[in-house]
Chains A and B, each alone.
Chain A
Amino acid sequence: MAGKSLLEVKNLHVNIEDKEILHGVNLTIGEDETHVLMGPNGTGKSTLGYAITGNPRYSVSEGQIIFNGEDITNMPVNERAKKGIFLSFQNPLEVPGVTLSAFIRSALEQKTGKRVRLWDYKKKLAQTMELLSMDESYAERDLNVGFSGGEKKKAEILQMLMLEPSLAILDETDSGLDVDAVRTVSKGISIYKEQCKGSLLIITHSTRILESLHVDVTHVMEEGKIAREGDASLVDEINENGFEDIKA
């Protein structure tokens, strides 16, 4: 935990419509750190991911989100993305009319403000898809349209590796995947850590995805608040005892 702080969430209260879901969340992630966010269903884990990413349906009524020293609490989604925040969606949406390849290229151009040379781009895309055992034909298919659950999740990891964000939030990227797909996704995450030295906030129920990763901090969320924090050993503890008695 020696790194400079990248993300600071301070006393964050978040509403969806009129209902408060998060009741004062505090969380700090340093550079090049891997954090895990666990907790029972419906406690607000995904809400925190959306709030950090800037989904307009989730309104912040109190508190702050600081990213790289800048207050981004009221910044539009796309501006946050350009600053290096990435969310891997639990249910990636199908968008006809743009191919996966064209979409990532345009996202890269948005982020860098520069034209991306097609030749170099295609080469890197093909290499990255190979690492993720994705058939290259997916590059020219419409974004997520008709992809299986596993291919959708791989496509999210592909986007992460191509866009190289400084903070990647993975919202149950492993859920619903078979063993092989989880292994591929884990491999993608490891490559991200090696190549981009970015930070991770991994929202998950299972530990399979964490096996090959070094976890710096584990947060446990309960009823819209961080109930407990610890190191990697907390993951094992939860594995054995479930979420009972997690309140320290």
Chain B
Amino acid sequence: MKEKSHVDDIDRSVYDIRDEEHDAYRIEAGLTPEIVDKISKEKNDPEWMHEFRLKSLEIYNDMKIPDWGPSIEGLDMEHIATYVRPNTKMQGDWKDVPQDIKDTFERLGIPQAERKSLAGVGAQYDSELVYHNVKDEVAAQGVIYTDMESALKGEYADMVHEYFMKLVTPRDHKFAALHGAVWSGGSFVYVPKGVDVSIPLQSYFRLNAKGAGQFEHTLIIVDEGASLHFIEGCSAPKYNVANLHAGCVELFVKKDAKLRYSTIENWSKNMYNLNTKRALVEEGGTIEWVSGSFGSHVSYLYPMSILKGRGSKMEFTGVTFAGEGQNLDTGAKVIHAAPDTSSYMNTRSISKSGGISTFRSSVVVQKNASNAKSAVSCQSLMLDSESRSDTIPAMDIRTKDAAVGHEAKIGSISDDAVFYLMSRGMSEEDARALIVSGFADNVSKELPLEYAVEMNNLIRLEMKGSIG
């Protein structure tokens, strides 16, 4: 989102600037049926959604906190405000967005990126979208890109009802249930049959409020033979209390359709990022995930692809960078549920200054999925001896003819490469940052230029001061 010429000027403070909170409405912290009622009323939900929320809360209360991953003890729901409405309505023109909020998105480069290279933008601030716009020519193709609230009530209400949390149900895990109870904001996208959206759509999620949660819901349906690239960006300023992000992404890729879902996630380091993403892919369809995880204190993030139709495909390209005080548990899952399906995961994880990076992969090939192909490649780079990197692959193969491969490599930065770069005048810090960027180029090569630059800036930022 920064232009190339700005590479040298990057500064973490861009993300850390907190706006003063002028919320129109902030719900009291904690989680009770009364609070859920209030959110539902505040949002003017249809009745089915109101019931869905209350049911989800019951499920939430019945379920256990996951005990197999990083600790989330620091997260106390009693102190999280689940709904914070910014002091504005959603606008279709940046001019109408309140100045302080607009300034925030300007600093993050969103309006600039929209003008240059996006087909549409949604910008969420705390619990609600403050801006949503889609280019006329894209709208003319019949593409629907709107906020979830409007979708829930408008022309596509039935479609939303049909798909909402059917792929990720509240029973999936505790935080999916939480999401079902208190979700707010997010985007709805529908690409009609055969429509190729040639430039990306983007939603950006900014959590400004202290001690709050963000629970946006993204629902994308790419109809038969259509294609779309959707980009999701997230950030938040740093506070010394816990913030929570428990979003949910449901992607429906129909017959012969193609969806690329790219994420650059840069939450601040007080964030618990417990996000759930899933795609259902029909015959001949393709889902491509491109994922950069940089921020947060703790992350649990494993996008899942269900290859339901014959010949459907998934590709997952990811990088995770865990620095000081971060425990990032990421990965990807795939279920081969039809013949001739294929999956490919190519991930890199980097850990530094005591950061913990864990990569989990899960490959399931069901009995009916003959001639399935799957390859998983995970490389880890540890920048010092106090950091940690784990790879946990799981495979459950129920056919005899599956071609399944897995490779994992762990390494450190080569001193010879640092010497080589320094022998041309580069500082040690820059040399190491360059090598780390190069290590993560599986992801940056898949991103549009502006985002690749942004990602390399984040890496440089993380590498700052890393020379002892």
Interface residues of A (CB under 8 A from B): 53-57, 76-78, 81-82, 86-87, 89, 92-93, 95-98, 103-104, 106-107, 110-111, 142, 159, 163
Contacts and interface: CB of A to CB of B under 8 A. Distances in A.
A192 to B, nearest CB: 16
B438 interface: yes
A106 B421 CA distance: 11
Contacts of A107: 424-426
B434 A56 contact: no
Interface residues of B, number: 24
A58 to B, nearest CB: 10
Contacts of A86: 423-424
B435 interface: yes
A103 B421 CA distance: 9
Interface in B409-426: 414-417, 419-426
A110 B425 contact: yes
Interface string B125-167: 0000000000000000000000000000000000000000000
A216 B71 CA distance: 69
A98 B423 contact: no
A57 B431 CA distance: 16
A88 to B, nearest CB: 10
A142 B438 contact: yes
Nearest to A96: B438
A107 B426 CA distance: 7
Contacts of B434: 95, 97-98
A89 B425 contact: no
B437 interface: yes
Nearest to A55: B419
A166 B438 CA distance: 30
Interface string B391-432: 000000000000000000000001111011111111110010
Contacts of A103: 424
B424 A159 contact: yes
Interface string B437-468: 11111001000000000001000000000000
A110 B426 contact: yes
Residue of B414, B438, B440, B444 with highest tally of chain A CB at under 10 A: B438
A97 B423 contact: no
A53 B444 CA distance: 33
Residue of B419, B424, B437 with highest tally of chain A CB at under 10 A: B424
Contacts of A159: 424
A95 B438 contact: yes
A176 to B, nearest CB: 18
A78 B425 contact: yes
Contacts of B431: 78
B417 A93 contact: yes
A54 B422 CA distance: 10
Contacts of B426: 78, 106-107, 110
